Amino acid sequence: MNIRSRIRKDDDVIVIAGRDKGTRGKVVRVMASEGRIVVSKVNMIKRHTKASASGSGGIVEKEAPLAISNVQFYCPNCNTGVRLTAKVLEDGRKVRACHKCGEVQDR
């Protein structure tokens, strides 16, 4: 199940559902085949790790993946979460743009 999404790594997103609703963060990893996304400092979990030869054990906090459908792209111009649309420029390049204001998001 390869979910097609216009959200990419290093995009600013806002969480629209779940316990972290309203939180903004930067996309760390996109797992399109699973339909999930990892956002920095969002959906934090505690992982109890056993001590090994490579490092000490303890409780480690890390980001857990959340569903791509639970986040929206954050448009700095609109100052809110928005959908993205595809736009073709005059030079023939296909770029992503804000659906509300039309601002081109790809540099």
Residue whose entry in the numeric block shows the structure tokens 């296909």: 94
Residue 10's nearest CA partner among 23, 35, 28 is: 28
Please give the chain's pLDDT, 107 residues, in tens: 677 889 999 999 999 999 999 999 999 999 999 999 999 999 999 999 999 998 888 999 999 999 999 999 999 999 999 999 999 999 999 999 999 999 999 86
Which two tokens mark 41? Answer: 């400092």
pTM above 0.95, yes or no: no
Which domains are seen in the chain, by residue range? 12-76 (2.30.30.30)
Q: Name the β-bridge partners of 76.
A: none
